[in-house]
Every structure is written in C-alpha cells, then in structure tokens.
Structure 1
Amino acid sequence: MTDLPYRPCAGVMLINRAGKVFVGQRIDATLEAWQMPQGGIDPGEDALTAAIRELGEEAGVAPEHLELIAEAPEELTYDLPPEMIGKVWKGKYRGQRQRWFLFRFLGEDADVNIATSHPEFRAWRWSDPADLPRMIVPFKRTLYEQVLAGFSAHLG
C-alpha cells in the first residue's frame, strides 16, 4: 500500500460508574462520528503518560479522576483511507499504531471540560460500549472492535 510508517499513538477508553464510555465529537469532523480520546506519543514519552496527557488535553479530565484498569494486550493499527494519505499529519504517516488503556472515571460529569486551551471536541457524552463501532468513522471500526474485545473482561 505505502512505505509510510504508522504514527505512534495512545488511546483511552474511559468508563464511568455506570459502565458507559466517554466519546467526543471532533471539531474538525464533517461526519456524525464520535470517538474515544487518542493522540500522538511525543518523543521520549511513554504510552501511559501520553494517554493521561491526551485525556487532559481533549477532555479536561485531571489525573486524580482516573484509575487505570487495564492496558490492551497488544498494539493495534489502522490505515487511513487512500484519499487521506498524504493529507493528514503532514503526509508523514499511513495510519496509526496505538497503545490502548482502560480507565475508570472517578469524578463527576462537571469534572469533564472539553473547552480546553486547544479544543478537539465540540460535544461529548457517555455511550454504551457496544455502540462504539457504529459511532466511529468506518475506517476505524475494526480497531474499535479490537479495543472492545481486548477490554471485554472489564466491561459490563
């Protein structure tokens, strides 16, 4: 397909006390797609640190409101659709390779604030885990099914 590498990334499944998952609607998305927080791993940063940082940057969730439950057993990847390669991430990557973490949210809804200094979401909500694959953009659907399978022992 392409010789481009995958972008290193951390992803977060954040569940509340009712077992619902945090999802946000991206500001830059034209589709009615929702996603879990995720973002690039900075040079020299480990994946867990990146995951906690991304939760703060994207959802305004402070580390004291988090309890780590699990890390996905393996790194997961997805490829961008051909028409997006070369346009996203300055054309440097073919997709992402992601380390996923499952956290329990210990705070209240008021402790979520998507109006961060560099907002990425225009809306957020708690959703049923089973609904995630149909809420995400189609090219990430298989990845979300893999995340759900990896954390299934800890959900519901």
Structure 2
Amino acid sequence: MSKNDKYRPNVAMIILSENYPDKKEIFIAQRNDLTDIWQFPQGGIDKGEEVKEALFREMEEEIGTDAAEIVAEYPEWISYDFPDKIAKKMKPYKGQTQRYFLLKLGKDAKINLATKHPEFINYKFVDVDKVLDFTAHFKKPVYETVINYFKKEGLL
C-alpha cells in the first residue's frame, strides 16, 4: 500500500444557510454514534466517481437534500489521521484526505436526517465564529484551516 492509499479519499462540505451572505451561519450535525460530536457532512468518494458527483451524492445521503450551490472550493486536498479508537474500525485507512467545498443551501432545500443510513440525529446552524466550539477535537485543525481560508477569501 502506498502512502496515498493510507488515506481514504473523501469530500467534505461547509454548508451555509439560505440566508448567506447576509448571515454567515454554518450547518453542523450531531453524530448518532458519538452524540457529543458535531461535524460537517462528509463522505467517501467511490472508485471512478468524480469529486463533485460524490459531493452531491453524499449531501443527499447524509442530510436528505442536494439542493445547494457551490460557492467555492478549497484549492487542495487536506488530510487528517483518525484517532486510534476510530482507526481500528477504518482499516486499512490511517485517515482521510478531503476535498472541501463551501455550499449555500437553496431556498427550497428540505433537510431530512432520517435518510436510508442515518448518520446524524440533530443539526443546527451556527455562527461562523462559534462553529469550532462544537466540533470534534481531531478534526478541529482541518476545520480551522479551511474556515480561515474561506474567511481570507472574503467568503466567510
């Protein structure tokens, strides 16, 4: 296995409410298996699948809608390692390498967490400056990097 094979290819999304750009509220969801963890929706890229195709498929699978438009894309892949407890379940992967997108929900988007394979039990929109207060510790450096990039670009 090469070094790159140790990281699962993944898409991740920072979803803004339909009130963007007037309000910079970010969607976070509470996991159903680790209820003290809130995170951005994300998911694996299937073999042969285009990144943006995976983005909208994962959005539909995780929050029940793909009614959103891409505002921006983080310009590079960004990786993180799983904590030991999670790494054991995710073998052979050591972590994930992700492509991040900033999306705005459509006005008619209907979020429905009761999907075929639910991953979340709750969600909320949080002010951009408070979102890191709710997120998983091992993902926080990645979240911070991506959020700061979009802030620097004048998008958040």
Give the TM-score, by structure 1 length.
0.87
> Normalized per residue, which structure has more helix?
1
Gaps of 5+ in 1: none
Is the CA contact (8 Å cut-off) linking 1:132 and 1:144 kept in structure 2? Answer: no
| 1:101-140 alignment, distance < 5 Å | 101-108=101-108, 111-140=110-139
Q: Distance in 2 between matches of 1:122 and 1:94?
A: 26
| 1:1-156 alignment, distance < 5 Å | 5-16=6-17, 17=19, 18-30=23-35, 32-62=36-66, 65-85=67-87, 87-89=88-90, 91-108=91-108, 111-152=110-151, 153-156=153-156
Gaps of 5+ in 2: none
Alpha-carbon RMSD across the aligned residues, in angstroms, is 1.7
Distance 1:49 1:135, change over 3 A: same
Q: CA deviation at 1:108?
A: 4.7
Give the TM-score, by structure 2 length.
0.87
Is the CA contact (8 Å cut-off) linking 1:23 and 1:126 kept in structure 2? Answer: yes
Q: CA deviation at 1:154?
A: 4.4
Q: Distance in 2 between matches of 1:137 and 1:78?
A: 12
* Residue identity matched to 1:73: P
Q: CA deviation at 1:107?
A: 2.5
Spell out, residue by residue over 1:58-77, the C-alpha distance to the aligned partner (whole angstroms, 9 max, x if none): 11113xx2111111011111
